[in-house]
Structure 1
Amino acid sequence: MELSPLDPVTPQLAKAVGSVPEPDSVPGGLSFEPKWDGFRAIVYFDGENVEIGSRGSKMLTRYFPELTDAFSRLLPGPCVLDGEIVVPQGAEGSQKLDWEALTARIHPAASRIALLAKSTPAMFVAFDLLSSGDDVLLDAPFSERRERLEALIGALPHPIHLTRTTTDVALARQWLVEFEGAGLDGVVAKPLLQPYAPGKRVMLKVKHHRTADVVLTGYRVHKSGNGVGSLLLGLYNGDGVLVNVGGASAFSNARRLELVDELAPLVRRDADGEIVAAETERSRFSGSKDVSFVPLEPSRVVEVQYDQMEGMRFRHTVQFARWRPDREATSCTFDQLDRPIAYDLDGVLV
């Protein structure tokens, strides 16, 4: 069996758990490693040519010429690597991952790609080895794959890195707290005896979970045309301006319909009784996507669960927790948010 970008491997996945698990919770024990917040990537190197596949098997090769060049020059032989593409930003001694800079790398113009490859170069953090030379390692336990990965790339220079691992659960729990300050996303636990399982959730992931009280500013209609698809959320900045910080979704069909009636008194209308037209700001990812929404009077407060912030916005879609009728909307400011203590990215890398 040969692993090839013509028949891409689907990366194995992780299921979320509430806390870092004990090593003896699975037969053979667990290996812990940082959870990198970037683009999942399967790197195919046949000794001459490089292809980089995404989690969904879309080829990312053209967007990261500096990495394809590095793989061609530095990898000692044919191999298939599983890892993460990330973009570090900041001065030496205070670097962290920059998600916005990473997403900006996906651009249709070749000239822009070349410019960004120099101004915001990416690096690759490897955490699994799927083949080496003629050996396909999918059926090998993770302990063996990790040992061979260390031997293959452990001594390679930047921009190719090897993620660190530990079997010490206390250290893994320390990483969960400290490494967030460098822009990482949590901790992953891998069964040491587990073969590689494409597309299956055999790993465990622990992410940061926090709550915040935010202002409900509007809602988008569900793609079916019926009910509320997502709630739009805001926080007040230091100048008293209500800033869009993201959205909450994942409601049941019944709840989507209930929310339309529940929020009807808050819908903003003009003098003729018509709903005020409103759109969220477009981005390069919006394309022709409908960005219209139903604006609401900013008077209702909702408590949400979130994992982390990216600038002035929630990094991912947040989860609705409960209404907070005891809170005034104007009291919902950025000051309430829990910001991680800064941690230099160099302290995370091996």
Structure 2
Amino acid sequence: MLLFEIEKPFNSPDYIFELKWDGYRALAFINDNNLLLQSRNQKNLTPYFSELKSITSLFKGTNAVLDGEICYLNRDGKPVFEKLQGRIWQKKSNIKYPVTYITWDILGLNNNDLTRTPLLERKKILQNYIQESNRLKRSKYIKEKGKELYEMAEEEGLEGIVAKKVNSPYEFKRSKYWYKIKIWQYTTAVIVGFTRDKEALLVGKYLKDNNKISFMGRVKIALNEAEKKALFRFLPTLKVKKPPFKVRHKQGISWVKPAIQCKVKYTEITSNNTFRHGFVVKLKI
């Protein structure tokens, strides 16, 4: 069940609100001592997260299907997505940074289909059937007060919140019973290049106290069609042979003079000093 995205948080007695966990979405199929973790595109994630095998012993029923997120949690209990990156491309499970499965829904229990059971009833069943540990946790929720939870998540530097209608069934599609409200940050950057398929821009930021530019990575384009067409009429006139900073050779990239500033929205700046989930939303010429 996927979520629609909306811009602003809200309060409503018809909804519950949870934190938006930052990791790999996965269904967990539990059958006695057997576990299958399945990604959104039906990839088997189980071999890459062997430390989650123990969650089968924390479930009280015979079998179940759970929905949740595979996360690495730091000492403060906050998800750090970067610690997960690379796990699913490694040949062997690397548990240097052990993960936690955070579950928020139960779709089946002891061979019974629960997808038509109202959400709050499913939440109660979930609470009764799992024992929490470092490897398995329930996503906590509050009723009605979405704005307050959003403000708390913003103060803590989290990704956002989700809103779910209290009587919603579980649908295997993108559903308007569930919404996600991301917490975005905004900054000014300068365009230093573009991909030749015109699907993304490369951007940087001027460093303080000098005229040098720090490369901030690739961002998607969230301009209207008129702005995008005008931008790509102008960018080719600014082409240069190389960028104003050291960078590994990138094929399919055209570099340009840093003449156009832009407003970028993003969720965080990674340890590699690049925008995560970055979008150019406005030009500043």
TM-score (norm 2): 0.88
**Which of 44, 53, 59 pairs up with 1:75?**
59
Q: Following the alignment from structure 1 to structure 2, what is the Cα–Cα distance between the partners of residues 142 and 88? A: 26
Contact 1:279–1:293 under 8 Å retained in 2: no
Report the Cα offset of residue 254 of structure 1.
Answer: 6.6
**Which residue does the alignment assign to 1:234?**
204
Contact 1:279–1:291 under 8 Å retained in 2: no
Report the Cα offset of residue 127 of structure 1.
Answer: 0.5
1:46-74: per-residue Cα shift (whole Å, max 9, x none)? 1131100111211111110001x212322
Report the Cα offset of residue 195 of structure 1.
Answer: 0.5
- Which residue identity does 1:158 align to in structure 2? N
**Which residue does the alignment assign to 1:123?**
100
Report the Cα offset of residue 292 of structure 1.
Answer: 2.6
Q: Following the alignment from structure 2 to structure 1, what is the Cα–Cα distance between the partners of residues 186 and 39? A: 31
Contact 1:306–1:319 under 8 Å retained in 2: no
Q: Which runs of 5+ in 1 are unaligned?
A: 1-11, 223-227, 270-274, 283-289, 326-350
**Which residue does the alignment assign to 1:6?**
none
Task: Say whether 1:199 aligns with 2:173.
Answer: yes
- Which residue identity does 1:229 align to in structure 2? E
Q: Following the alignment from structure 1 to structure 2, what is the Cα–Cα distance between the partners of residues 279 and 221? A: 20
Change (3 A) 1:291 1:254: farther
Change (3 A) 1:95 1:128: closer
Q: Following the alignment from structure 1 to structure 2, what is the Cα–Cα distance between the partners of residues 293 and 193? A: 49
Contact 2:55–2:135 under 8 Å retained in 1: no
After TM superposition, the structure 1 = structure 2 runs for residues 1-350 of structure 1, keeping only pairs within 5 Å, are 12-24=1-13, 29-67=14-52, 69-77=53-61, 78-89=63-74, 92=75, 94-110=76-92, 113=93, 116-117=94-95, 119-153=96-130, 155-169=131-145, 172-180=146-154, 184-202=158-176, 203-222=178-197, 228-237=198-207, 240-250=212-222, 256-269=228-241, 281=248, 291-311=251-271, 312-321=273-282, 323-325=283-285
Number of matched pairs: 279
Q: Following the alignment from structure 2 to structure 1, what is the Cα–Cα distance between the partners of residues 154 and 44? A: 29
Q: Following the alignment from structure 1 to structure 2, what is the Cα–Cα distance between the partners of residues 126 and 315? A: 24
- Which residue identity does 1:120 align to in structure 2? Y
Q: Following the alignment from structure 1 to structure 2, what is the Cα–Cα distance between the partners of residues 143 and 95? A: 25
Change (3 A) 1:47 1:180: farther
Report the Cα offset of residue 183 of structure 1.
Answer: 5.5
- Which residue identity does 2:159 align to in structure 1? D
- Which residue identity does 1:32 align to in structure 2? F
**Which residue does the alignment assign to 1:335?**
none
Contact 2:262–2:280 under 8 Å retained in 1: no
Change (3 A) 1:291 1:132: farther
Q: Following the alignment from structure 1 to structure 2, what is the Cα–Cα distance between the partners of residues 34 and 233? A: 30
Contact 2:222–2:279 under 8 Å retained in 1: no
Q: Following the alignment from structure 2 to structure 1, what is the Cα–Cα distance between the partners of residues 157 and 41? A: 23
Change (3 A) 1:280 1:51: farther
Greater fraction strand = 2
Identity of aligned residues (%): 25
Matched position secondary structure for 1:36:
coil
TM-score (norm 1): 0.73
Report the Cα offset of residue 121 of structure 1.
Answer: 0.4
Q: Following the alignment from structure 2 to structure 1, what is the Cα–Cα distance between the partners of residues 149 and 90? A: 37
Contact 2:265–2:278 under 8 Å retained in 1: no
Q: Following the alignment from structure 2 to structure 1, what is the Cα–Cα distance between the partners of residues 157 and 263? A: 24
Q: Following the alignment from structure 1 to structure 2, what is the Cα–Cα distance between the partners of residues 303 and 254? A: 17
Q: Which runs of 5+ in 2 are unaligned?
A: none
Greater fraction helix = 1
